[in-house]
Amino acid sequence: MVILYIGASFLFLVYAGLILFLHGKWRAVPIYKNDQAPAADIRFSIVIPARNEETRIGFVLDALRKQDLDTSLWEVIVVDDDSTDHTTQVVGQYDQVKLIRLTGKDQNSYKKRALTEGIAQSRYEWILTTDADCVPGPHWLSTLSRFISDRNPQMVVAPVRMAHDFSLLQIFQALDFMTLQGITAGAVHGRFMHMCNGANLAYKKSAFQTVQGFSGIDHIASGDDMLLMQKIQLAFPGSAHYLLANEAVVATQPAYSWTEFIQQRIRWASKATYYQQASLFLVLLAVYLFNLAIPVLCFVSIFHLSALWMACALLGLKILIEFPFVASVARFYQDSALMKYFPILQPLHILYTLIAGWLGQFGHYSWKGRRVK
C-alpha cells in the first residue's frame, strides 16, 4: 500500500507540474490585434470536406458569403465524400463554390483523400481548411490575411469554439474542448508540441507539396491535421504560428449523442502512437496514468478503506490545479458560465479519458457512417 500511495503521489506531482506549465504557456500567448488592411498578395483556397452534411453545410457557406475580405482574394472548394444525402444539391445552390465529387473506395483515410483532391484543384498558395459543420465570423479571412502578412509562417493554427446548449452532454464537450484549445495555443506558441485542429487550419500549398502531402500517413483514418503539422514542422522547424484572436474563432458543432461523442474521441485518440514528438507522447501518457490512478485507488479501497481517501484527495487536487487554467481559457472564449459545472463533471471526465484512450489504440470506431480501423 505504501508503494501504491507513493506512486499515486508521484503521478500527481508530475500532473500538477504539467498543468501549471501548460497554464503558463497559455497565458504567454498574445492576443493578436491589427487594424491594418489585409494583404493584397495573400489569397486563400478554402477546402471543406463534406459527407452527409445537407443540414449543416449551408451555414458555413452562408458565413463565407459575409466575409469582409474581397472575394477576389479567396475561393471555396467543397469536396463531397460520396454523400448519400442531398449535400451536393445544397452546395449546388451557391454560386462560385467549386464542388468536387468523390465516390467511395475501399480505403481507411477518406478525409485525407478529400483534402488531397481539393488541394490539387485549388488555385491559391494558402490552403485554409474547415469542416462542413463549422461557422466562422465575418472577419475570419481578413484577420488571417493580416496575421500571415505580419508573421510569414508556413502554417497557422487558429482557435475553435464548440457551440453548445446547456445539456449535460454539450456542457461536458465544451469544457473538454476548451481545455484542448488552451493546450493547443500554448503548445504551438511555445513550440514544444505539435497540436492543431483541422476545423481552423491554414498552410502553404508549397509546404504541403514539399512534405508530399499525406504520404506516409494516408493509411491512418485520423490525423489530417496534427500528423500533417508534424510533417510540416519537421520540414520547416518553428514555422507554425498560433493566431489567438476572437475575430479568428471558428465555431464547430458538438456531438449530439454520447455514442457519437465517444466515437469522435476514440478517433482522435487513435493517432497517438503515430506522434514522433516525444514531448507530446509523454504528456498524453502522464495524463492517462494520473487519471487511471484514481479509479485504481477506488478499487483498492474495497480491501483498504484508506485508499478511498487517497482517491478523493487526488480528485480534489486535480480540480484545484486544473480550474484556473480552464477558467482562463473560458474567459477568452466568453464561456465562463460553464465553469460552475467543471468540478462536478470531473469523475465523468476521468472515465471518458480512460475509455477513449484505451479504445483509441485497441478498438474500432464509426465515422460518417463508415466502420474504421
**pLDDT tens, position by position, 261-289:** 888 888 777 766 677 667 777 788 888 89
Rounded distance, CA 247 to CA 220, Å?
33
Closest of 359, 114, 352, 323 to residue 255, by C-alpha: 352
At 19-62, the pLDDT tens digits run 999 999 999 999 998 777 787 789 999 999 999 999 999 999 99
CB 163 within 8 A of CB 256: no
pLDDT(360) > 80: no
3-state secondary structure of 241: strand
* pLDDT value of residue 260: 87
Residue 171 grid coordinates: 456542457
Per the model's pLDDT, the better-predicted residue between 133 and 35 turns out to be 133
355, with CB counted inside 10 A (0-12, 13-18, 19+), is: middle
* pLDDT value of residue 254: 93
95-107: average pLDDT: 83
Enumerate residues 6+ apart whose C-beta is below 8 A from 39. Answer: 145, 146, 148, 149
* pLDDT value of residue 239: 95
Enumerate residues 6+ apart whose C-beta is below 8 A from 215. Answer: none
DSSP secondary structure string, 253-322? PPPSSHHHHHHHHHHHHTTGGG---HHHHHHHHHHHHHHHHHHHHHHHTTT-THHHHHHHHHHHHHHHHH
The two beta strands, 201-204 and 135-136, are unpaired
At 54-96, the pLDDT tens digits run 999 999 999 999 999 999 999 999 999 989 999 999 999 999 8
Residue 335 grid coordinates: 464561456
H or E segment to which residue 351 belongs? helix 346-362
**Which percentage of the chain shows pLDDT scores above 90?**
65
